[in-house]
Amino acid sequence: MRRRRLYSEAVRIRQDADTTAAQPRGERTSSGSAANDAAAEVAGGLAHDGAVHDEDVNNSAVDAEALGNDAADNDAVHSDALGDDAVDDNTAGGGEICVIMPTYNERENIGPTLAALFEWNPQVHVLVVDDASPDGTGEAAEAIAAGEPRLHVLHREGKNGLGPAYLAGFNWALKRGYATLCSMDMDGSHRAQDLHAMLRVMADNPHVALVIGSRRVPGGRTEGWSRHRNWISSAGSWYARTMLGLGVRDMTSGMRAYRARILRASDLRSVEANGYVFQIDMTRRVAAAGGSIVEVPIVFPERVRGRSKMGIGIVVEAMRRVTGWGLRRLFGRS
């Protein structure tokens, strides 16, 4: 009953945040702060509530199996709301936050996406990992970075896939000592206000290793998707979690926040996944490394500008790799 109330409250807060985002910037301060404070309280409640009930994992935003019994300890979970100024260091466990954003032909999205990201999350740094975009995305990022010290740009020689782009970004950020590493799309489908809520969950729950922005838990949803596309996405996540024996509802979500410590423990050098199956691979690696995983509901709108990179080859790769991982799990092979 309490969980349902928390989900309902989370949806209301997100609606308030959407209203705030639509206001002129000068009018946002009071209503935005109220929504943010309420979001912190609800996010903390979502992470705490139901954390130790394995039988409820399919209906909860918290992966109880991954969280383990430590979540039952009230000292391990802090659901008190943090003020805006408190997010800076506590969210990253005493360090900084790096949001890694791979790009390929996203020139028309980079300006508005980064503006919203920094407005909602002024404490973060951003690393754009550009795969030599023909449309000049990398150059546009450099131009913004010239006047924005929180923005960094990593250029790669060609279009080599989503997985390698994220791995390059992880390596860059880990070498520079960031404590929390996030992944987001540049196309506007991952909303800045949802990242804000996810980072608050990280701040309130220091034992959590991975927060996933989920479309597939109560309060999460897509916008502008066809029924067929939603079915394919949901079926893919169901197949992956069934084959891999995990309780995560949105296995393919690319909106995530990782503790640096779990990435260092996840044997990233052996990752071979290229496309969107990279997200599934990272989920299973975090779980295998003993990391606790929490899903937080997000809204995933269809992109407004540009074209999707999804293709049949990405789907085939995902099915092939998930099937192989699942069979090895079932037959006791590593």
> Residues 197, 43: contact at Cβ < 8 Å?
yes
The span from the CA of 162 to the CA of 252, in Å, is 13
The span from the CA of 256 to the CA of 265, in Å, is 17
Encoding tokens for residue 271? Answer: 């990752």
Contacts of 13 (CB under 8 A, 6+ apart): 35, 38, 39, 42
- The vertex-241 CA angle with 66 and 313, nearest 5°, equals 130
CA distance to 31, 106, 128, 231, 305, per residue, from 308 (Å) = 34, 10, 18, 18, 9
- The vertex-169 CA angle with 130 and 112, nearest 5°, equals 50
- Map tokens 């779990």 to a residue: 262
- Map tokens 């943090």 to a residue: 82
The structure's pTM equals 0.73
User: What pLDDT sits at residue 273?
Assistant: 83
Radius of gyration of the chain (CA): 19
Query: What φ, ψ does residue 221 adopt, rounded to 5°?
Result: -165, 165
Structural domain including 223 reads 2-330
| CA neighbor of 101 nearest in space, from 79, 117, 78 | 117
Q: What is the pLDDT along the chain (334 residues), one digit of tens a residue?
A: 433 444 444 455 455 555 666 666 555 544 444 444 444 444 444 443 333 223 333 333 433 333 333 332 322 222 222 233 333 333 443 359 999 999 999 999 999 999 999 999 999 999 999 999 999 999 999 999 999 999 999 999 988 889 999 999 999 999 999 999 999 999 999 999 999 999 999 999 999 999 999 999 999 998 988 888 888 888 888 999 999 999 999 999 999 999 999 999 999 999 988 877 999 999 999 999 999 999 999 999 976 665 654 556 666 777 888 898 988 888 876 5
| CA neighbor of 198 nearest in space, from 251, 252, 256, 250 | 256
Burial 58-75 (b: 16+ CB within 10 A, else e): eebbbbbebbbeebeeee
Q: Provide long-range contacts, Cβ within 8 A and 24+ apart, for 260-266.
A: 260/95, 260/173, 260/174, 260/178, 260/179, 260/180, 260/181, 261/209, 262/209, 262/210, 262/286, 262/289, 262/291, 263/170, 263/174, 263/181, 264/174, 265/289, 265/290, 265/291, 266/291
| CA neighbor of 39 nearest in space, from 246, 219, 175 | 219
Number of folded domains in the chain?
Answer: 1
Encoding tokens for residue 173? Answer: 């950020």
User: What pLDDT sits at residue 34?
Assistant: 44
Encoding tokens for residue 234? Answer: 């949901």
- The vertex-55 CA angle with 52 and 57, nearest 5°, equals 70
CATH number at residue 113: 3.90.550.10
